[in-house]
Amino acid sequence: MLKVKGISVRYDIIPVLEDVSFSVQEGQFVAIVGSNGAGKSTILRTISGLVHPFQGSIDFLDEPIQAAKPYEIVAKGISHVPEGRRIFDKMTIRENLLIGAHTKDNQAEVRNTLQEMFELFPILKERQNKKGETLSGGERQQLAIARGLMAKPKLLMLDEPSLGLSPILSKKVIQACEEIRRSGTTILMVEQKVTEILKLVDQGYVLQRGKIIREGKGSELLASDTIRKAYLGL
Amino acid sequence: MQSAKQFTSIFGGVLVLFLVAPLIIRDTQFQHLMIMLLLFTTLSQAWNLIGGFAGQVSLGHAMFFGIGAYAAMAPLNQWGLTPWIGMAIGGLVAMVAAVIVGYPVFRLKGHYFVISTFAVAEVVRELFSNWDWVDGPIGLDAPLVEQGWRNFMFYHTKLPYHYTLLIFFAVVMFVAFRMERSRMGYYFRAIKQRPEAAQAMGVNITLFKQYAFIISAFFTAICGSMYGLYVLHIEPSTVLSLDISIKIVLIAVLGGIGSLWGPLLGATILISLQEYSRIWLGGTGRGIDLIVLGALIVIICVYEPNGIVGLIKRFSRKKRKA
């Protein structure tokens, strides 16, 4: 579904990603883990067209997208839930969700998706007419994910959805991700919480200083000595 | 956001006030004040579409204002062409200028965007100052032509200017009201709050900024045409000056950026200050309005960044709680 081949990205002259390659198959739950500053968010920003690689290629459903504009990429079926939630504070929850569906012209379909989101995240239904700024951290994250899902993406990219959340809320958000995956949406997630996430995913990649240093099934990575030493302190 | 019913009743009241006031108060100074009030409210509302709703603070709107003024005045002056055609041409030229200017400047963000709009407007002012066909820095005087609607010249009454501007004011207010509630309005708010998140949602932010800029430029040019035909003399240092750009922005800041009624409230204070300080103090009072306005802006920025509209909302919330 998604094939990233040898991409390198720089911010001005500072290299952030170097020769990064990985792939995501349809229906998979894939995670890229790594410490702060490893370049995880940049990978997602590059796929969604917010930054462009100076080298390498990105294919989505066998079409090159490395030079495409963000709105073209969303229209192709990739939704990006950015780091730090980034919801629209001055808009109501309902308006936030509807912005997510702006590529859809069929209003009946939009209404149905909205109902699905309200079922997945009941708190959003309760508070649909409240402004985004009134939500707590966990609710904001639920809104950000729901907003990303409103476009009915084929691939949902989540940037550290558990960042800044309490362990209980973090667990809730990750449970929601599992549910989304069960409904058939492919997920690519970047995370710092290595243990929790690697238990769930089909495939994991470890990013260190802009390079993929290891890949494998989640359980394999968790069992690896390198990972245990570097990330789990074991 | 104001409900449609609330907007219609306030809008209706304001329209009735502007319809009736110049018929009741025949004082020409007052009628002049009303005309300037309508002109600057319309201008500021046109700016509000890009600056307030979409959050792209342009300090270059004098460029569109000047284009409109020259487009109506120059063909009338040189060929005797009816200014209505000039006005339409001015609006179209301003839209094209907005596309040409918008393409590079919308790649810039924040302060860089603001400075670039100011710089482009200064370039346009220099161009007009050195253009012989429009008499360079001397500017153009309206020719002495037969008065009436064809030439849009009225020598004994201000009412036609007032009512024509009232129509433009109503159109711009209606456009702003519709835009605020439209899909485009949602996108503008999203772009203003979090441009990168809006982009990640698939909103083509450059395109929507361009739309706002084009619509805003069109109405600004129409106001420029009206201004030229009303004051009968235009020159680059008046219609293309930074003063005009800043005044348009200050009105919106004072009244409340991004609000429907902010431009009218801001213009009521600023234009009244400007006109009455000029009338009462003459040349000696030049600039006093700006000193008072400066103080007001400082107070507003410190206590209520949402302007007078924000203050009104705050007081009505307190009243409801009490």
Q: Could you tell me the domains of chain A?
A: 2-231 (3.40.50.300)
Chain B nearest-CA distance from A75, in A, is: 7
Question: Closest to B190 (Cβ–Cβ): which among A70, A81, A99?
Answer: A99
Rg of chain A over all Cα atoms, to the nearest angstrom: 17
Q: Find out whether B110 and B125 touch, Cβ atoms under 8 Å.
A: no
User: Which residues on B lie below 8 Å from A82 (Cβ)?
Assistant: 196-197, 200
CB A156 within 8 A of CB A82: no
Q: For residue B283, what is the DSSP state?
A: G
- pLDDT (0 to 100) of residue B283: 66
- Min Cα distance B304 → chain A (Å) is 16
Which among A50, A82, A88 has the least Cβ separation from residue B190? Answer: A88
- Say how many CB pairs under 8 Å bridge A and B: 62
Q: Is the pLDDT of residue A109 over 90?
A: no
**What are the two backbone dihedrals, phi and then psi, of residue B80, each rounded to the nearest 5 degrees?**
70, 20
Nearest-CB residue to A74 (from B183, B196, B202): B202
Question: Of residues B180 and B322, which shows the higher confidence score?
Answer: B180
The answer to whether the CB atoms of B199 and A99 lie below 8 A apart is no
Q: How confident is the model at residue B292, as a pLDDT?
A: 81
- Least Cα separation, residue B108 to chain A (angstroms): 15
Distance set, CA B211 to CA B111, B179, B187, B192 (Å) = 21, 11, 11, 14
Nearest to B210 by CA among B102, B64, B93: B102
Q: Which of B186, B198, B202 comes nearest A103 by C-beta?
A: B202
What pLDDT is stored for residue B214 in this prediction?
Answer: 96
pLDDT tops 90 at residue B117: yes
What is the 3-state composition of chain A as percent helix, strand, coil, each rounded to the nearest 5? Answer: 40, 25, 35
d(CA A227, CA A220): 10
Q: Which of B189, B169, B185 is nearest to B261 (CA)?
A: B169
- In this complex, do A99 and B203 lie within 8 Å of one another by their Cβ atoms? yes
- What's residue B123's pLDDT? 95
Tell me what the mean pLDDT of segment B205-213 comes to: 93
CB pair distance less than 8 Å for B201 and A48:
no
Alpha carbon distances (Å) from A219 to A12, A157, A202, B188, B274:
37, 21, 9, 45, 74
Quickly state the pLDDT bin for A82 (edges 50, 70, 90): confident
**Dist. CA B129–CA B143, nearest whole Å:** 20
Tokens of B224: 């420029």
What is the average per-residue pLDDT within B46-64?
A: 93
Tell whether the model's pLDDT for residue A183 goes beyond 60: yes
Q: Residue A232: what pLDDT?
A: 59
CB contact under 8 A, A50 and B201: no
Instruction: Judge whether residue B168 has pLDDT over 90.
Output: yes
Best to test chain B binding among A79, A86, A98 (most B CBs inside 10 Å): A86
pLDDT of residue B161: 95
Mean confidence (pLDDT) of chain B = 90
Contact between chains at A102 and B200 (C-beta distance less than 8 A): no
Q: How many CB atoms lie within 10 A of CB B237?
A: 13
C-alpha distance from A169 to closest chain B C-alpha (Å): 23
Contacts of B186 in chain A (CB under 8 A): 91, 95, 98-99, 102
φ, ψ dihedrals at A162, nearest 5°? -95, 0
pLDDT at A196: 77
Q: Is the CB of A100 less than 8 angstroms away from the CB of B197?
A: no
In this predicted structure, the answer to whether residue B201 has a pLDDT above a threshold of 60 is: yes
A51: phi > 0 → left, psi -120 to 50 → alpha, else beta; which? beta
Q: Is the pLDDT of residue A174 over 90?
A: no
pLDDT in tens, B259-304: 999 999 999 999 998 888 887 777 666 677 778 878 888 888 788 8
Torsion sign (Cα): A51, A56, A59, A63: positive
CA distance B195 to chain A (A): 10
Residue type, A120: L
Q: Are strands B233-234 and B140-141 parallel, antiparallel or unpaired?
A: antiparallel
pLDDT of residue B284: 67
CB within 8 Å: A102 and B186: yes
Residues of B with CB under 8 A from a CB of A: 183, 186-187, 189-190, 193-194, 196-204
**Mean of pLDDT values over B38-59:** 94
For residue A127, what is the DSSP state?
A: T
DSSP B58-108: -S-THHHHHHHHHHHHHHHHHH---HHHHHHHHHHHHHHHHHHHHHHHTTS
* The model scores a pTM over 0.95: no
pLDDT for residue A230 is more than 70: no
Closest CA–CA distance from residue A91 to any residue of chain B (Å): 8
Domain boundaries, chain B: 4-242
Chain B nearest-CA residue for A145 = B201
Answer for the pair A160, A192: CB distance below 8 angstroms, yes or no.
Answer: yes
- Nearest CB to A50: which of B183, B200, B203? B200
Among the listed residues B207, B184, B189, the one whose alpha carbon sits nearest the alpha carbon of residue B99: B207
Looking at CA atoms only, how far is residue B186 from chain A in angstroms?
Answer: 7
Label residue A14 exposed, middle or buried (CB < 10 Å: 0-12, 13-18, 19+).
exposed
Q: How confident is the model at residue B178 (pLDDT cuts 50, 70, 90)?
A: very high
